[in-house]
Structure 1
């Protein structure tokens, strides 16, 4: 089967690897003149790492990423330790590690493996129009390309999504959050008496200071030579025209009450400060076209807040799930080559595959979107009673228990509020054991296989009757 993937980001390259290794013909289109990935660090969760390892990226990822031993959570103002999550133990619990890696490093690894899997990458290939019914794209340079399936992984401001949904496209929407991002040299932090105890190069632990409405997350990147710093805050400041001096002054003002170690990190950072408002794509009416020749994946379908570090991981889940259902519907072995099949059979199989994908993936992605915002809200709550429950929960974050119990008469109302997605989600996002289990124990491939197998008999019966009716 020939698949065109629009967008050479993490979602698109991950899908190219998975489908290429299954011997499908893959063409990746990207508008950029050269393939570069901007940004700083990303955190990747175990269920996504399982798929990257399965596709053969294990050695490259482990050589160029960091597995923190712990995530320490601190009171932002008082500076006392509230709790620790034992990140190092997640590999034994969930079958793969939790890693932090520079986005450019991850992107380069994915690119290299996509090419090795046989994907053809066409740069300077800006798609300006989609022919959804016929699996075709029109490029700005005048070329028209056609495939059995077009997959748009073109990001949060997706042109494909806007053309697919028209007036029904909600576009990307502000979440009410933003984040200042900066970096600092580890050598300077290690040499300074105020910050030296935060930089344990052996454990490589991450640190998170929380307070009402604001927080400071730090973790090591670039072979532990740089500290990535993410300063979450309410999105109520327009920084588009800010000078360097204005950025520095604003950060200092917002975090003026944070403990001395955080203040010293700011002193020692010499990097440019950038502010990123956090946007999300609300739940869409559909990700696919009725023809079965087009689908959205990744941020184009479900961009989300970063408070559970799941945006990149969900994109990898998408790739694993879509590759699985396409392999089930249209295997690439020569005895069942898609080009040898009647078009009605091909369209029916692809339509069913995309239906299965959407039925399985939409509830998962939308629940994670909601949980990500809940994690941000609960971690930054200013409500005194809620904050008390959060701090109690953090004291149990290193334990193999889900706390507090929903039946807890004192804390139950707040816990039920946190768990409004219907899952066992507690306050504090991934510092909560129930939340981690729900996120990291999920099997995207297994969920697709189970639903596909349960639906295939009914689908084949309906498809056969439909084709016979057309022929008559």
Structure 2
């Protein structure tokens, strides 16, 4: 099958790897004149790494990432340890580790493997118009490219989504949260008596301080030479045009009541600081075009808040699921032609299976992510009591609290799209981790494709 992937980000490159390894011809388009080193740290969860490992990226990823031993959760003001999550043990629990890695490092690895799998990357290729019915894209430079299928992985501000849905496109909406991001040199932290105990280069553990409406997350990146810092706050300050010094003044005021170790981390941070409002794409009416020749994936379809650290992982899940569905429609080694009515029906069914399976999964994780953020930063004294007690159980092999009626109001909920239990604390809640990390994206889409094939392909 000949496939155009629009967007050379994590979603698009992951898809190119999976498709290329199955023998599909993949052209990747990106508007950038060259791939640049962007972003800072990202966290990747086990169920996504299972697929990246299957595609042959295990050695490269483990060589250039970090597996923390624990995630320590502290009270922001007192500095008291509230609980910890045993990150290192996730590999035995879920079949792959939980890693932290610099986004640019991850991107470079994906890029290398996409090219190795046969993907053709065309930079400076800005798509300005989609012909959904005919599987074609028009470029700013005047070229028109056509394929059996066009997949848009063009990010949260997706042009493809806008053109596909028209006035039904909700766009990306503010979640009410934002995050200041910066880094600190680990050598400075090790040399400082206030922070030296936090930087254990043997365990490489992560640290997370929580308080009403604000939090500070830190983890090691770049072979443990840099500490990545994420400062969550309510998105009520317009920092778009502020200088780094002005941003630091805001940070200082926001975190003035935090314990001395956090204060010192901020003192030692690099001058570069940026604030990123957290946006999400609400549930869409559809990801695919009725022609069966176009589909959205990744942030273009379901950008989400980062409080489950699942945005990147869900994009990899999308790639694995879509490639699996397309392999069922056009098995590796077989020929494919849209002039064949059976092949055309098979492609439509593949996109139908992908959307039917992936939409509720993505929407559930979106909901869990926002619930995680809201519960970690609640101002309610009663709810913080429930949260802190839950954090005290976070290192144990048990789900707590089990019941919705915990005395903590609506702190334990049921997901609207799937009925999954949503416990307090995001990643710190074992019940939420279990259904997130035990998920089999390929198995789910294959099961649906095969169970519905007789009716759809008849």
Q: Does 1:231 align with 2:227?
A: no
- In 1, the alpha carbon distance for the partners of 2:37 and 2:359 equals 27
Alignment correspondent of 1:88: 88
* Cα distance, 1:458–1:177 mapped onto 2, change above 3 Å: same
1:414 partnered with 2:392: no
Alignment-derived partner of residue 337 in structure 1: 335
Are 1:357 and 2:354 counterparts? Answer: yes
Deviations along 1:414-445, one digit per CA (max 9) or x if unpaired, are 34437666212210001001010011000000
Listed as ranges, the matches of 1:128-167 within 5 Å are 128-167=128-167
Inter-partner Cα distance in structure 1 for 2:182 and 2:270: 8
In the alignment of these two chains, the number of paired residues is 457
Provide the rounded CA distance (Å) in 1 between the counterparts of 2:407 and 2:322: 44
Q: Give the alignment of 1:309-458 within 5 angstroms.
A: 309-333=309-333, 336-339=334-337, 342-406=339-403, 410-411=407-408, 413-417=409-413, 422-458=419-455
Partner Cα separation in structure 2 for residue 305 and residue 424 of structure 1: 18
Structure 2 residue matching 1:216: 3-state secondary structure = strand
Q: How far apart, in 1, do the equivalents of 2:288 and 2:374 lie?
A: 31
Deviation at 1:58, TM superposition (A): 0.1
Q: Return the alpha-carbon distance in structure 2 between the equivalents of residues 367 and 414 of structure 1.
A: 17
Contact conserved, 1:17 with 1:119, CA < 8 A, in 2?
yes
Shift of 1:330: 1.2
Counterpart position of 2:308: 308
* Cα distance in 2 for residues equivalent to 1:70 and 1:332: 41
Match of 1:465 in 2: none
Contact (CA 8 Å) 2:404, 2:410: kept in 1 or not? Answer: no
Q: Distance in 2 between matches of 1:419 and 1:146?
A: 40
Alignment-derived partner of residue 269 in structure 1 = 269
- 1:459 deviates by 1.7
* Paired position in structure 2 for 1:470: none
What is the CA deviation profile of residues 376-435 of structure 1, one whole-angstrom value per residue up to 9, with x for unaligned ones?
Answer: 000000001000000000000000000012065534x43443766621221000100101
**Offset of residue 363 of structure 1:** 0.2
- The two structures have a TM-score, normalised by structure 2, of 0.98
Q: Give the conservation status (yes or no) of the 8 Å contact 2:216–2:230.
A: yes
User: Are 1:49 and 1:96, in contact at CA under 8 Å, matched by a contact in 2?
Assistant: yes
The CA deviation string for residues 226-260 of structure 1, in whole angstroms up to 9 with x for no partner, is 00000000000001121222111100000000000
CA contact (8 A) 2:404 2:413 kept: no
In structure 2, how many angstroms separate the alpha carbons of the residues matched to 1:307 and 1:337? 43
State the alpha-carbon separation in 2 of the partners of residues 245 and 101 from structure 1. 27
**Corresponding residue for residue 292 of structure 2:** 292
Q: 1:148 to 1:174 in 2, by over 3 A?
A: same
Residues 116-265 of structure 1: pairs in structure 2 closer than 5 A: 116-265=116-265
Q: Is the 8 A contact 1:378 1:418 kept in 2?
A: no
Structure 2, gaps ≥5 residues long: none
The match for 1:72 is: 72
Name the SS of the counterpart of 2:410 in structure 1: helix
From the two aligned structures, give the one with the greater helix fraction. 1
CA contact (8 A) 1:292 1:351 kept: yes
Give distance in 1, aligned partners of 2:150 and 2:37: 23
Task: Specify whether residues 237 and 34 from structure 1 end up closer, same or farther in structure 2 by C-alpha distance, changes over 3 A only.
Answer: same
Distance 1:268 1:399 in 2: 34
For residues 249 and 98 of structure 2, the distance between their equivalents in structure 1, rounded to whole angstroms, comes to 34
Deviates more, 1:249-258 or 1:341-350: 341-350
Q: Note if contact 1:65-1:222 (Cα within 8 Å) is conserved in structure 2.
A: yes
Kept in 2: contact 1:70–1:206 (CA 8 A)? yes
Whose radius of gyration is greater, 1 or 2?
A: 1
1:161-210 Cα distance to aligned partner (Å, 9 max, x none)? 00000100011100000000000000000010000000000000000000
Q: Quick check: 1:16 aligned with 2:16? A: yes
CA distance in 1, matches of 2:453, 2:402: 40
Residue pair 1:291, 1:347 contacting (<8 A) in 2 also: no
